[in-house]
Amino acid sequence: MKIMVSACLAGENCKYNGGNNRSEKVLKLMAENEVLTVCPEQMGGLPTPRVPSEICNGVVTAKDGRIVDAQFRTGAAECLVIAKIEQPDLIVLQSRSPSCGVKQRYDGTFSGKLVDRAGVTAQLLMENGFCCVDVEDLVEVHNDVLIRKLSSGEICLLKDFLYEAIFIPEGVEPPPRDIVERPELRIYYEYFGRSEADLCLVAEADGHVVGAVWTRIMSDYGHVDDETPSFAISLIPEYRGKGIGTRLMRNILSLLKEQGFKQASLAVQKANYAVRMYKNVGFEIVDENDEEFIMLCSL
């Protein structure tokens, strides 16, 4: 995979204060992929160290009041030229930067407050169709599949992946897509993101989200108690059987552990081929009814 990264993440001392944002995740990417680094602020002609800047009313302004908009936009345009020539499959950028932030940037008041807007370089690259991800949302890249956190603008995807998660035995007619609007299924996605147990990772391949795994504490079929998040996972059919589900599961289990959860649960139809995959990542059967196993994984 060819990946473009913010140079400060690769350990280059191009940050406004002369330091860097060296990231172990990015160093790992560099060891396993073809990686090119860019620092749009330096490419726009700004020195290092430099006065920090934020975007105030659409104009990039240094903390000392000087307007540096032209330099930021020149740097962004330079990055776009490189991206168009090199055609990276993925661009990993430093979070919250007025140049590189993908999901958020500082709000222009130099008070540490954030807004859900991209920095100028990230914005330009995304407008031109490049796949950009904040380094903080990157989980891993393996075999040309990116695993990353779901962004708040993508929560609507959960309905699609919930539909894909419905197990349909061979020879049975699939249910209508609006089945996901039923109350017993709405609990999987409604108001998602409000609780610390609401975690979701997605797998992206060939420019599309091809799979999702998410957890929340909910009264679903896999519910065991009010401290244990339960799981939903699905992949679109063409991407099943390639190990992507296992990677999604392992990564979200790590994330749950980091957040302090002690165990996770799920319910799965006994005939579902995924039972073996769940066992492989550490789930054990703790209960069953006629149709389903209830499985638990200690973290």
Q: What residue ranges bind ligand SF4 (CB under 6 A)?
A: 6-8, 14-15, 39-41, 94, 97, 99-100
Min dist CB 17 to ligand SF4, Å, is: 9
Min dist CB 113 to ligand SF4, Å, is: 18
Min dist CB 72 to ligand SF4, Å, is: 8
Calculate ∠ Cα 61-62-63, nearest 5°: 120
Return d(Cα 244, Cα 277) in angstroms, integer: 11
Residue among 96 and 148 whose Cβ is closer to ligand SF4? 96
Of 25, 24, 32, 26, nearest to 7 by C-alpha is 26
- Report whether 199 contacts 256 (CB < 8 A): yes
Residue among 103 and 247 whose Cβ is closer to ligand SF4? 103
Determine the residue with CB nearest ligand SF4: 8
- Report whether 222 contacts 289 (CB < 8 A): no
Min dist CB 63 to ligand SF4, Å, is: 14
Min dist CB 151 to ligand SF4, Å, is: 19
Residue among 8 and 200 whose Cβ is closer to ligand SF4? 8
Residue among 41 and 292 whose Cβ is closer to ligand SF4? 41
What number of CA atoms fall less than 13 Å from residue 181's CA on the CB side? 3
Residue among 94 and 123 whose Cβ is closer to ligand SF4? 94
Min dist CB 33 to ligand SF4, Å, is: 18
Q: Which helix (H) or strand (E) holds 19?
A: none
Return d(Cα 154, Cα 140) in angstroms, integer: 19
* Beta carbons within 8 Å of 93's beta carbon, 6+ residues apart: 5, 6, 9, 100, 101, 102, 119, 121, 122, 132, 133, 134, 135
Residue among 39 and 202 whose Cβ is closer to ligand SF4? 39
Min dist CB 16 to ligand SF4, Å, is: 7
Provide φ and ψ at 135, rounded to 5°: -60, -35
Of 234, 186, 193, nearest to 216 by C-alpha is 193
Residue among 52 and 282 whose Cβ is closer to ligand SF4? 52
